[in-house]
Amino acid sequence: MVPSAATDAVFNALSSPTRRKVLERLSVGPASASELAAPFDMQLPSFVQHLSILEESRLVKSKKRGRVRTYEIAPARLKIAEDWLTARRQVWEARLDRFDQYVKQLKQKESKP
């Protein structure tokens, strides 16, 4: 089972449109902090705060080489959120299937002479 602290951190990280845009960019390939910041009209300290939240959630990891810190996506954590959502949908769909079966049985009973 996934520890709920990990799930909390991941869904919290995903709740910001800025952080989701960063993840969209990083799914295409690694990028430096300044490359990631470029599309956003935001002060650098605020933007770095978003990167920290992403890194703490372990949705991304970073490496420093010389003066440049490069970020990349860490897909294992994305999968925590994806699996949580898929599980909800599957439970729901299984319930609908059982309900369909039940309605079918009722109809068969009614149609018997």
Beta-bridge partners for 37: none
- Single out the segment in contact with a second copy by CB under 8 A; choices: 25-33, 37-45, 50-58, 105-113: 25-33
Q: Which is nearer to a second copy, 5 or 110 (CB)?
A: 5
DSSP-assigned states of every residue in 7-52: HHHHHHHHT-HHHHHHHHHHHH--EEHHHHHTTS-S-HHHHHHHHH
Residue 81 interacting with a second copy (CB under 8 A): yes
Residues of this chain that interact with a second copy (CB under 8 A) are 4, 7-8, 11-12, 14-15, 17, 20, 23-24, 27-29, 73, 75, 78-79, 81-82, 84-86, 88-89, 91-93, 95
